[in-house]
Amino acid sequence: MITKPSNRPPLEGITLEAIVTQLSENIGWAAMAEAVPVRCFAFEPGIKSSLKFLRKTPWARAKVEALYLQQLARVKA
Protein backbone atom coordinates (compact mmCIF):
# COMPACT_ATOMS: atom_id res chain seq x y z
CA MET A 1 0.00 0.00 0.00
CA ILE A 2 1.29 3.44 -0.95
CA THR A 3 0.87 6.21 1.60
CA LYS A 4 1.14 9.92 1.03
CA PRO A 5 4.09 11.43 2.90
CA SER A 6 3.03 13.93 5.53
CA ASN A 7 5.59 16.52 4.38
CA ARG A 8 4.18 16.66 0.85
CA PRO A 9 3.05 20.18 -0.16
CA PRO A 10 -0.77 20.36 -0.24
CA LEU A 11 -0.88 21.89 -3.73
CA GLU A 12 1.49 19.44 -5.38
CA GLY A 13 0.02 18.17 -8.61
CA ILE A 14 -2.76 20.76 -8.78
CA THR A 15 -2.48 23.25 -11.61
CA LEU A 16 -3.18 26.95 -11.22
CA GLU A 17 -5.88 26.58 -13.86
CA ALA A 18 -7.61 23.89 -11.78
CA ILE A 19 -7.43 26.11 -8.69
CA VAL A 20 -8.93 29.15 -10.43
CA THR A 21 -11.60 27.04 -12.14
CA GLN A 22 -12.69 25.34 -8.93
CA LEU A 23 -12.77 28.61 -6.99
CA SER A 24 -14.82 30.36 -9.68
CA GLU A 25 -17.31 27.47 -9.74
CA ASN A 26 -17.53 27.05 -5.97
CA ILE A 27 -17.49 30.61 -4.61
CA GLY A 28 -17.83 32.80 -7.71
CA TRP A 29 -15.83 35.66 -9.13
CA ALA A 30 -17.31 38.28 -6.77
CA ALA A 31 -16.18 36.38 -3.67
CA MET A 32 -12.77 35.82 -5.25
CA ALA A 33 -12.47 39.56 -5.96
CA GLU A 34 -13.39 40.32 -2.36
CA ALA A 35 -10.82 37.87 -0.97
CA VAL A 36 -8.09 38.82 -3.47
CA PRO A 37 -8.79 42.35 -4.71
CA VAL A 38 -7.35 42.21 -8.22
CA ARG A 39 -8.80 43.60 -11.41
CA CYS A 40 -8.87 40.28 -13.27
CA PHE A 41 -11.44 38.95 -10.76
CA ALA A 42 -13.54 42.12 -10.46
CA PHE A 43 -13.83 43.40 -14.05
CA GLU A 44 -14.73 41.03 -16.89
CA PRO A 45 -13.36 37.99 -15.05
CA GLY A 46 -12.22 34.95 -16.94
CA ILE A 47 -9.96 31.96 -16.51
CA LYS A 48 -7.51 32.95 -19.24
CA SER A 49 -6.99 36.54 -18.10
CA SER A 50 -6.74 35.47 -14.47
CA LEU A 51 -4.11 32.84 -15.24
CA LYS A 52 -2.05 35.33 -17.22
CA PHE A 53 -2.08 37.80 -14.32
CA LEU A 54 -1.50 35.25 -11.56
CA ARG A 55 1.47 33.68 -13.34
CA LYS A 56 3.17 37.09 -13.44
CA THR A 57 2.21 38.18 -9.91
CA PRO A 58 3.57 35.95 -7.12
CA TRP A 59 1.80 37.74 -4.24
CA ALA A 60 -1.61 37.38 -5.89
CA ARG A 61 -0.96 33.75 -6.77
CA ALA A 62 -0.04 33.03 -3.14
CA LYS A 63 -3.31 34.60 -1.97
CA VAL A 64 -5.34 32.59 -4.47
CA GLU A 65 -3.60 29.38 -3.40
CA ALA A 66 -4.30 30.21 0.26
CA LEU A 67 -7.96 30.87 -0.59
CA TYR A 68 -8.13 27.50 -2.35
CA LEU A 69 -6.66 25.74 0.69
CA GLN A 70 -9.21 27.49 2.94
CA GLN A 71 -12.02 26.26 0.70
CA LEU A 72 -10.65 22.72 0.82
CA ALA A 73 -10.53 22.85 4.61
CA ARG A 74 -14.17 24.02 4.75
CA VAL A 75 -15.29 21.23 2.46
CA LYS A 76 -13.49 18.59 4.54
CA ALA A 77 -14.82 19.95 7.82
Condensed to tens digits (0 to 9), the pLDDT of residues 3-57 reads: 555 555 678 889 999 999 999 999 999 999 999 999 999 999 999 999 999 999 9
Residue 9 lies in a domain: no
Residue 3 lies in a domain: no
Cβ-Cβ contacts under 8 Å for 60 (sequence gap 6 or more):
36, 38, 53, 54
Alpha-carbon 42 to chain mean position? 15
Cβ-Cβ contacts under 8 Å for 45 (sequence gap 6 or more):
24, 29, 32, 33
CB of 36 closer than 8 Å to CB of 63: yes
Looking at residue 76, what is its pLDDT?
76
pTM for the model stands at 0.83
Looking at residue 11, what is its pLDDT?
83
Residue 43 lies in a domain: yes
Residue 4 lies in a domain: no
Residue 11 lies in a domain: no
SS3 content of the chain, % helix, strand, coil (to 5): 70, 0, 30
CATH number for 28: 1.10.720.30
Looking at residue 15, what is its pLDDT?
94
Number of folded domains that form the chain: 1
Give the domain extent around 26: 16-76
